Structure 1
């Protein structure tokens, strides 16, 4: 992973969408993406809240 794509909050990374998807935690994901307001600049995932992404940007 390049420095640009690293998560700036590694202690909270286990709660980010990319990790939830990698762990196949689909039930947890559903409630976090039903009304997205932000998109991750790393992976493109959309989420309701910025704390669910590594590098959130407004949609």
Structure 2
């Protein structure tokens, strides 16, 4: 578990900020292909689905 404000710490290992920190592979790139609808209030990354970030906020 990370020391942040993740709303779903059990799934944090699947969030974009953790995946990007490990490596930017094709699977992670796909998370950025769809138009963004939410941003993470922790790291600012913008993605389509709220379940892909720690603390989602609608754009």
TM-score band w.r.t. shorter chain: 0.7 to 0.9
Whole-angstrom CA distance in 1 between matches of 2:37 and 2:29: 14
TM-score normalised by structure 1 residue count: 0.82
Question: Is the partner of 1:7 in helix, strand or coil?
Answer: coil
Question: 1:2-41, aligned counterparts within 5 Å?
Answer: 5-34=4-33, 35-41=35-41
* Equivalent residue number for residue 47 of structure 2: 47
After the TM superposition, list the runs of 4 or more consecutive aligned residues in structure 1 that deviate by more than 2 angstroms: none
Whole-angstrom CA distance in 2 between matches of 1:39 and 1:25: 18
Q: Gaps (5+ residues) in structure 2? A: none
Q: Gaps (5+ residues) in structure 1? A: none
Report the number of matched residues: 56
Q: Is the 8 A contact 1:20 1:28 kept in 2?
A: no
